[in-house]
Structure 1
Amino acid sequence: MNHRDARTRRLHRVLAPRSIALIGAKDSGRLFMGTGAVIQALKRLGFDGEIHLVNRGGVPVNGVPATRTLAETGAKVDMAAVLVPAAAIPDVLPDIRAAGAAGATLLASGLAESGPAGAELQNHIAAVARDADMELIGPNCLGFLNLVERTGVWFSGYPEHLRTGAVAVLSQSGGVGDAIMEAAADLGIGLSHVITTGNEPTLAVPDVLEYLLEQKETRSVAIFAEAIRKPDVLVRAASRARELGKAIVMLKAGSSDLGARNAVTHTGSLAGNDAVMDAALAQLGLIRVESLEELLVTAHLAATVGPLGAGGIGVVSLSGGGCSLIADAAEREGLDLPDYSPETTGALRSLVGDFATAQNPFDVTAAAGDSTFEDVLGVVSKQQDIAAIAVLCNVPTHLSGATPDVARLLRSVAAGILSSEVPAVLVCQTTVHAGALGREIAERSGVGVLLPGIELATAALARVSWWSNWLIAPATRLLSDGLLPSGSHDGDALSEWDSRLRLEASGVPLVTGILAETPDEALDAWRRIGGPVALKGVSAAVSHKSEIGAVVLGAADEAAILAGYEQVERAIRQVARAVDGVLVSPMVSGGVELVAGVTRDPVWGPTLVVGLGGVLVEVLHDAATRVLPVGAAEVRAMLESLRGFPLLSGVRGRAGVDLDELVRAVSSIAEAGSAADVVSLEVNPLLARSDSVIGLDALVVAAVSTREEANA
């Protein structure tokens, strides 16, 4: 048996235990935390395995016998719930391992999250567990629930109406995991698992994700993450999720600007960790959401109806105002609502009447009869570019609304949903309508999926549609060779001349440049170029030359060349000990200015950024980000995603740029930036014209050793 197979078997014993020990069990009289909570959750789950209670004095708990050690019981256990303080954890782990346990769930806080001393203790605990081939859930977590196999170790309250279903909840935060579980109970969303990982000294979210994806009852996984540990495992899990057609939905917290790390380049500030995280998750096919409610509802929708076929969403509504609201929400969320075809509109008018506006969203109006919804959904579901249908229809929020007419209407909706040729769901106008009474009435009518509120429903439909289309598209390389950062993230900027040498070796097209070390050499370079030139001081100590007056543009005669040379050299000497010379280049004009560069993210490694605006890119903030490696098709997709893409394709009679050449240039920049010793690089501006693409300025930040070699 190889290492991964052995770990999989261990994880199954940990997350589906049939024999559980409670270490540090005590009668606190509290049913919502600690020993009482664990026992209460096991009862509500219907756990029929063994429970062993252990505490230092062997004192009975709620009348149930306990022992001082597990060894005294002679029992073999799968999992131990450890309720002792952090400092006592190392003392109890050997007893747990001696009982054959595959792992332990640690409630204690005050470890890595509390400071250096706590981190040192946590590292020691993790080392003891690894030496014993044990997995740790937590510390600083609330444990886990396996609703499918009716087992778990849960240190908090257990919602009374929690349902078993197809959504697994995976959270680094115990409190957030608890909140998601309570929301699922209130919304009637069934869960297969709830697992909180806490500080993750051995088991991180990607490890558990791999396990969950292999559980046949789990159709989607909802993840709350504050940090991404083990990105290589996440990549592997994402690949497996694609094979299985299972959705991974993530709420990633903690966005911040990492631009200061590479502030020497514009791309360093553009590629903050949140932009990189967005790009990485999208490339992996993970659905990123922005709220806990959206996380839960999107995972629920994906588990129930996804993956969808190619196409957009057809909307059928009983409210004209609702049609407007969902149309507005669809535009905000990027949800495709295809126009209904002439055949579809004709069939709809024949059902409802010529007065109806047969568009998408479609208002059935008050003309709806007992079978109208069923007939309308049948028509809409036959249109080829409709992948799913959303039926906008409220359910009662109070008993007085549960009239026979409403019941007949909902039965018609349910019949239409069941007979639809594509997946169909019921959408309420507000979250209130998806309360317990509304769900009960909808379910009694035969409605399968009830989404709470127009905004949440539209966001969920948009995310699941995007994911479904991602699955249909040809698979691209998942982040692999370029994934993990290597070498130091600290480095020094190379001079523009040394930067040019690095980039030209990778095939990056750059404007002609001649390095002049004397005024006479500058004059000779100007004569060879044969026209107005730009003069730039060259020194590794100066990255942004224009700010200090080390750039002269448009020098076109001997006097201007000599004066310009003196100016830029003097400007460099005021801030740097050494001047490498003056770079002489022809003046270039016309075209569209872009910036293209690579920065190194601490989690995902080399990351490509392309934006419009050249030196003004941070003002325009029109940029696209991808984690390397990327192919030409993805580079083109990055360019097409820019708001200013019409400037590249041609607008208002202006010729478009050479897109093929631009893709090649950006791909070469990406290749240069993938080198292990490159901390960041940038070509700015990258001038794209109808007949050529050329970089006008370049900057590479590399490991210190590279700079020393370049200057040797």
Structure 2
Amino acid sequence: MEARSSSAPTGKWSPSSHASSVVKGIHAMLHPRNIVLVGATDKPGNYAERIWNNLKHYKFEGGLYPLNNKRETIWGVPCYKDFASLPDKPDHVLVLVPARFAVQVIREAAAAGARSATIVTSGFSELQDDESQKLAAELQLAIRETGLAVTGPNCLGNLSAGEKLFTNIDDRVVTMEAGPVAIAGQSGAIVMAIRQALEDRGVGVGYMVTTGNEAGLETPDLMTYFAADPSIRVIVVYLEGVRNTEIFREACKAARAAGKPVIALKLGASEGGRAAAMAHTGALAGSIETFDAISTREGVIRARGLDELIETTECFVHADLPKGSRLAAVTLSGGKRGLLIDAFSSAGLNFAQLSQGVSDKLAKMLGPGSIVGNPLDAGFAAVVDPSVYMQSIRIMVDDPDTDIVIIDSELPKAPHELRERNLRIVNQMASAAGKPVVYVSAMSIGFTEFTKGLRQSLPHIAVMQGLDRAVGAIKSLIGYASLRKQVPDIVSSSSASARATLERMLKNAKGPALDEVASKKLLRAYGIPVSREEIARTAADAVRIARKIGFPVVAKVVSAEILHKSDIGGVVLNINSVAEVRKAFNDITARVKKLKSKPKLEGILVAQQVKSELELVVGAALDAEMGPVVLFGTGGVDIELMKDVALAGAPLDAAEARELIGRTKAGVKLRGYRGKPALHEASVVRALVGLSNMMADAGSRISSIDVNPFLVNTRTGVAVDGLIVLNSAAADGAAGH
């Protein structure tokens, strides 16, 4: 019996009609009454024969029907010419015919009563020629019109352990026992490798689904199904791209509401990775930081590689969720003690200070001259009295002031009576204490068949290999446990007047961006404080406005065609007199006239020069893959140098805005650093929520919003610059194209 996390973050989630339909379709696919292999052939080594052999070897209990209109028998059984000649109505169809026949098979299968299909055949959207793209479009249309639950094309089949179903080409040995892990992903080779690695570690896999090009079902659809299946506790996915942000986010919400972590390996952490995703499945992979910003708040843990994914899965399968982050550790080596301290402190995790009572208890047990600390090195005392080791572990596990206990050890490779007995005792301790107990080996140690069997008998202990990977997994466990218990479905909280202003300005936009005056007008409508300012058409206007606002003032070029004003000398600061106002107006105008691009000059903005203690950047963007996100961090001219920014999905509420601020060095300064007073955080929160509302209201019509700098002092925060860039489609529509 595998361990189960004692508690998990839960949120409100109600399935949409899409989610309900998906769950029903996938259930039919993974629990079919029969399987029909269309394109059955006994050519040695072909996919059809390998899948047939797997289905027979693992004793699938439903009907198995090969179909090929050119054969009477195959593999020693009757071969059927068409769906009408089958002894039963087809249920799940494996499509193994060439790509040009696949669409016809899908339509005929649906007409004959089939509920689901897996298209193993390749030759669709993963290729770039016109014929393959046309076939892909026709296949998508057929799937949509028939309503079949379909994985593929260009996939390698599926596993449903409880049904003894293995429609996969893999000929490695599979332990066909339903386990608590479900795996889905676009790359068949990677998904199969994950399953094999987990099995080698003694972690059971209940489902494995390869989705290929995802012409029908997508990986988020499988996430939704696994979230609804009570036998699954941990969901593992490989993502090359997210095609539908809303469906992905809904799937994440479903998993989180069910208390099931989603451990994801996401392609696209580099430009090369994103290019590979495009070439492989035609997926549009976006910024990995944006993926993290949106998915992490919904309980997704992104692994940085396959080894980390395996360790993290192992951790979540066997460890209860901790109540906090107070670490304790027991080792038999002073060197290992140092490694533990270094590794966890580098990840921002620290070992708890032992209470006086626990310290006294350990000192008495270890004897005179012993060093009592956390991590505890019990090595010297254990040489004299071997029972000291187990007593030390019990004290740490029983200590109410520890949340996670780490034991520096690995499982034996061969029978060892004492170590096996000790492991069983620790397993019982962990079960009784309801806190994570994690065995960590500093390096990767191979499992023998004996080790694998022993591991399966210890359901309440996580057994992890490689210290750095273990640290990452434990940090993820702590992070998941600390997620907000209730996450409301956040929607835009903007006013009707703000939305009306947005619609009017987007409708009247005449270029790729709103100029600074228009941008600030829209920012103000969404509750974002902006500096006092007015546009001047002449030098005399500039003087009048400056006197009205009061010196010092700033002068800035206003043109929707000039996105970076300072780059062309379009900003003059610290203007303190009438003469300086006139000079600034004339200088900026002359610089614009000299530009080869001949941008249209709307005027010169004369604005209040705000005294600030801190320059911030607040902004938002529409990510091509994940949708709208909000940005916060260190602003001004240091934004590229410092790279101190954090992202969050939009829309967000005030609590999430404060959490976003807290993830940056700018946030530390904002809240008071080294004796300096705290600055006006409320204005920053208001700005972030306002920007997120604007992005939500605009849909896909705004590409980005840049407010840099946003100046903050102890009394207020003010946007002194603003640029709203429109999505090209919105700009084309506004221009009448």
Cα shift at 1:420: 3.8
SS of equivalent residue, structure 1 residue 288: strand
User: Alpha-carbon deviations, 1:660-702, whole Å to 9, x = none?
Assistant: 2332233333334443143221211111111221122111123
Cα shift at 1:513: 0.9
Q: Distance between the aligned counterparts of 1:353 and 1:588, measured in 2?
A: 66
Q: Distance between the aligned counterparts of 2:404 and 2:510, measured in 1?
A: 50
Q: Is the 2:160–2:207 Cα contact (8 Å) retained in structure 1?
A: yes
- Structure 1 residues 42 and 74, CA gap change in structure 2 (3 angstroms): closer
Cα shift at 1:2: 7.2
Cα shift at 1:548: 1.2
Q: Distance between the aligned counterparts of 2:432 and 2:168, measured in 1?
A: 41
User: Alpha-carbon deviations, 1:438-481, whole Å to 9, x = none?
Assistant: 344555788754222322222222112211111xx342335666
User: Alpha-carbon deviations, 1:83-109, whole Å to 9, x = none?
Assistant: 111112123224422442111111111
Greater RCO (CA < 8 Å, at least 6 residues apart): 2
SS of equivalent residue, structure 2 residue 163: coil
User: Which of 109, 133, 155 does residue 96 from structure 1 map onto?
Assistant: 109
Alignment of 1:417-436 (within 5 A): 417-436=430-449
Q: Is the 2:629–2:648 Cα contact (8 Å) retained in structure 1?
A: yes
Deviates more, 1:444-453 or 1:524-533: 444-453
Q: Distance between the aligned counterparts of 2:635 and 2:374, measured in 1?
A: 37
Which residue of structure 2 aligns with residue 19 of structure 1? 34
2:705 counterpart of 1:681: yes
Deviates more, 1:104-113 or 1:296-305: 296-305
Cα shift at 1:202: 1.3
Which residue of structure 2 aligns with residue 529 of structure 1? 549
2:619 counterpart of 1:597: yes
Which residue of structure 1 aligns with residue 528 of structure 2? 508
Q: Is the 1:479–1:627 Cα contact (8 Å) retained in structure 2?
A: no
- Structure 1 residues 533 and 697, CA gap change in structure 2 (3 angstroms): same
Deviates more, 1:61-70 or 1:353-362: 353-362
Which residue of structure 1 aligns with residue 323 of structure 2? 309
Q: Distance between the aligned counterparts of 1:74 and 1:464, measured in 2?
A: 51
Which residue of structure 2 aligns with residue 133 of structure 1? 147
- Structure 1 residues 86 and 312, CA gap change in structure 2 (3 angstroms): farther
Q: Distance between the aligned counterparts of 2:489 and 2:696, measured in 1?
A: 15
User: Which of 47, 55, 64 does residue 77 from structure 2 map onto?
Assistant: 64
Give the % identical residues.
28
Which residue of structure 2 aligns with residue 642 of structure 1? 664
- Structure 1 residues 272 and 185, CA gap change in structure 2 (3 angstroms): closer
User: Which of 62, 65, 89 does residue 49 from structure 1 map onto?
Assistant: 62
Deviates more, 1:658-667 or 1:405-414: 405-414
Cα shift at 1:648: 1.7
User: Which of 487, 490, 509 does residue 476 from structure 1 map onto?
Assistant: 487
Which residue of structure 2 aligns with residue 171 of structure 1? 185
Per the normalisation by structure 1, the TM-score is 0.89
Q: How many residues align?
A: 690
Which residue of structure 1 aligns with residue 236 of structure 2? 222
Give the letter aligned to residue 481 of structure 2. S
Give the letter aligned to residue 100 of structure 2. A
SS of equivalent residue, structure 1 residue 217: coil
Q: Distance between the aligned counterparts of 1:52 and 1:388, measured in 2?
A: 52
Cα shift at 1:413: 4.1
Q: Is the 1:411–1:446 Cα contact (8 Å) retained in structure 2?
A: no
Which residue of structure 2 aligns with residue 297 of structure 1? 311
- Structure 1 residues 295 and 703, CA gap change in structure 2 (3 angstroms): closer
Give the letter aligned to residue 557 of structure 1. S
Q: Distance between the aligned counterparts of 1:357 and 1:196, measured in 2?
A: 53
Cα shift at 1:110: 1.4
Give the letter aligned to residue 653 of structure 2. G
SS of equivalent residue, structure 1 residue 670: helix
Gaps of 5+ in 1: 259-270
Q: Please give the root-mean-square deviation of Cα atoms over the aligned residues, in Å.
A: 3.1
User: Which of 703, 719, 723 does residue 695 from structure 1 map onto?
Assistant: 719
Q: Distance between the aligned counterparts of 1:703 and 1:25, measured in 2?
A: 49
Q: Distance between the aligned counterparts of 1:301 and 1:367, measured in 2?
A: 30
- Structure 1 residues 657 and 272, CA gap change in structure 2 (3 angstroms): farther
- Structure 1 residues 137 and 446, CA gap change in structure 2 (3 angstroms): closer
User: Alpha-carbon deviations, 1:548-579, whole Å to 9, x = none?
Assistant: 12222223333322222111112223333532
Deviates more, 1:123-132 or 1:406-415: 406-415
Q: Distance between the aligned counterparts of 2:269 and 2:492, measured in 1?
A: 25
Q: Is the 1:22–1:54 Cα contact (8 Å) retained in structure 2?
A: yes
Give the letter aligned to residue 497 of structure 1. V
- Structure 1 residues 101 and 541, CA gap change in structure 2 (3 angstroms): same
Per the normalisation by structure 2, the TM-score is 0.87
Which residue of structure 2 aligns with residue 393 of structure 1? 409
Deviates more, 1:88-97 or 1:605-614: 88-97
Give the letter aligned to residue 375 of structure 1. Q
Which residue of structure 2 aligns with residue 265 of structure 1? none
- Structure 1 residues 681 and 353, CA gap change in structure 2 (3 angstroms): same
Cα shift at 1:495: 1.4
Deviates more, 1:366-375 or 1:453-462: 366-375
Q: Is the 2:315–2:463 Cα contact (8 Å) retained in structure 1?
A: no
Which residue of structure 2 aligns with residue 555 of structure 1? 575
Which residue of structure 1 aligns with residue 13 of structure 2? none
Q: Distance between the aligned counterparts of 1:635 and 1:517, measured in 2?
A: 38
Q: Distance between the aligned counterparts of 1:543 and 1:190, measured in 2?
A: 55
2:40 counterpart of 1:29: no
Q: Distance between the aligned counterparts of 1:185 and 1:474, measured in 2?
A: 32
Alignment of 1:154-553 (within 5 A): 154-160=168-174, 164-256=178-270, 273-368=287-382, 369=385, 371-397=387-413, 399=414, 403-404=416-417, 406-407=419-420, 409-411=422-424, 413-414=426-427, 416-441=429-454, 448-470=461-483, 473-478=484-489, 492-553=512-573
Which residue of structure 2 aligns with residue 607 of structure 1? 629
